[in-house]
Structure 1
Amino acid sequence: MLYSMYDWQLAAFAPMRTMAVAGRNFLTNPDFPFTESRFFRGVAAGCELFERVTRRYEKPAWGLERTRIGGAPVAVTEEIVEARPHCNLLHFRRDPAVSEKRDDPKILVVAPMSGHHATLLRGTVAALLPDHDVYITDWIDAGRVPVSKGRFDLDDYVDHVIGFLQRLGPGAHVVAVCQPSVPVLGAVSLMAAAGDPCRPVSMTLMGGPVDTRINPTKVNAFARRHSLGWFERSVITRVPFGYEGFNRRVYPGFLQLTGFMSMNFDRHFGAHLKLYEHLIRGDGDSAEAHRKFYDEYMSVMDMTAEFYLQTVDIVFQQHALPRGEWVSRGRRVEPAAIESTALLTVEGELDDISAVGQTRAAHDLCTGIPPDRRRHILQPDVGHYGIFNGRRWRELIAPQVRAFIRAAREGRAVA
């Protein structure tokens, strides 16, 4: 019912949204004689704000058409190397004329399945492309996956990571951003215990909830305060008729977005007020920066009910991984079995989603990894998104990740 109500709301606003778009286009047309009038700029800005807050945001394009290697531009093309019902393994293929002359490490970037599309990691991928052969898990909106394609839960997530690493072959590296830190650590643990030759050379966990008992955030406290049944009754609904995923039980993206926005409501409200001011002043650059950020941030995807509920249960309520109690498809997850994979953990000092210490906890679990094959980075003055996006990621964190991967590949000490 929640999903249907959301669709009805969008449909109800559609005529007004169309009028707002038409009004903005008319008032900002160079042929309109009062374009420079502050009054009409204000009206046009109001029209744009209304259109943006009532719009359904579709998945943005990656837009990574080139990178720079050795100071020269190099073309990049996207190719799906393995398509599964719930995920595509996407390869950012650099021009073979350049890349085949290099011996860059293969990296599997595991994107979070926590509401946003994998394109949220555009900046992550862009910083890695010059020195790595990059692959990423491009998760598919559960509301667009037919029920006939089967279910998808946390165990399936783990199996996808294992399967994709096997697809890349021996010698690959894995980078988990945020939520997938837990299933990636689980996948590598299972591969190590099985002696899988495709287990990664290195594993980088960034801002992930490995042990949420440490410095619990508001998100962690909320998960502990409510029962699993409460979550199922309150946020799980069925995809309505008209979508490919009709009748699939999901945690809808629009509810997830509401949660994201409410955590920092004042900041988001202030950002939209600033957009209004930028438009009135004619500050096109600042307005475009706002559009670019929120076009990505407001674009969300549904996740399957079984994945969401199992994650809440195992990661945030049972803390099964740090307690040594996680069993995936009859296989006990034992991080201590990891011996040959180097470990890097990255945290942001100001992270209010995965607090300081929660990701570093992986070192306490991976007791089989020698000390000189482990490293931890605590980046000052950085919040959750700054760990993998933005200037501090590009200038401070990414160079250290690059150096860690190279050292791990060459068998050198990484600490």
Structure 2
Amino acid sequence: MKLTIERLGHLGDAIAQGPEGPIFIPGMLPGEEVEGTLAGGRLTDVRILTPSVMRVKPPCPHAKSCGGCLMQHAADDFVAEWKLGIVRGALAGQGLDAPVRGIKASPPQSRRRATLAARRTKSGALIGFHARGSDVIIPVPNCQLLHPDLMAALPGLEALVKIGGSRTQELTCTVTRSAAGPDVVVMGGKPLDGQLQLELARVVEAHGIARLTWGDEVVALRANPVQRMGPSTVVPPPGAFLQATEHGETSLLAAVSEALGPQKRIVDLFAGCGTFALPLAQEAEVHAVEGDSAMTGALDKAARQASGLKKVTVEARDLFRRPLEPDEFKSVTGVVIDPPRAGAEAQMGPLVQSGVPVIAMVSCNPITFARDAKVLLAGGYVLDWIQVVDQFRWSSHVELVGRFSRPHMQR
């Protein structure tokens, strides 16, 4: 069967119109003519008859087998416009429109955090990403996504898997780049006993791992895995949220700072370990609210140890179940809100009622961003602009910052 690709879906699959409806074909681009065998709404054994001018040679040798990247076959300009289109489409789905600025994309080999699959084998250890739609682990010794420091950590991860893994149980290894070396969390390993802990500690020393968390227990701490946030150094709890690339974090922070402008008192909702709160505290008082008490503890400690910050207060609070109420925004001049993918639907109503003059909303999900934005706009706010950030290169993920203001609001 011959088909012509019409468009890409929001997850990156190409879509063509078949005799009985849409057909999904991974790895293709709009305008391409392809031929293959139709099987249950998908085309298999695909052959490209007419390639797109936007098709490029994937920069990574693992691109065809590894499921870590979906869009290496497309030119950067195409991917950028596709991701901007995802944001515009999400807004249109809620009947909204706003100026969408260009995209700021993180460079190759810049991911500072990754979760890898691993398994002990007869001859050693297997570690990498899953093949797309499969539990098969694909080794990625020449990965063009991960930061060189993460690539250098792979031998240490393999050593941990050889000692603490099994041939029947898959492990997940989350590794984060830090100033003191890799910060590693391993899940699914053998139960800890004295001998295993001793052997793991030896691997930590031999491979320069800063901290090793096995399951829920920190089993070795060679050095604090510090992260710099503004003028502060933070020691995040194991597995804590961190922006995927330094470039992405810098881009998001720049957009948030521009959106807020000069402020006296800021509330940072879903503050994490202080990605925005600590840099913003150089110019304004900040109250940081986060549901994870371990993260608020790390933020508070970093703020107390830093110099040159204005007053920083923290609060551990589940904003899904107990959002901040309107009267709790008294004297607040600006808000930063950076919810997880589910968005912050429960917080939108109180935010509207609070009348805070300016809001910088950060989002990793354009769909829930648009839903929540609609509530703010219905309450009198204006969506001034959106800055799109792509720190998950070659994937379907999109992040953004939106600036909301309330014209003529009297406080």
- What TM-score does the superposition give when structure 2 sets the normalisation length? 0.30
Q: Say which structure is richer in helix.
A: 1
Higher RCO (Cα < 8 Å, 6 or more apart): 1
TM-score normalised to the size of structure 1? 0.30
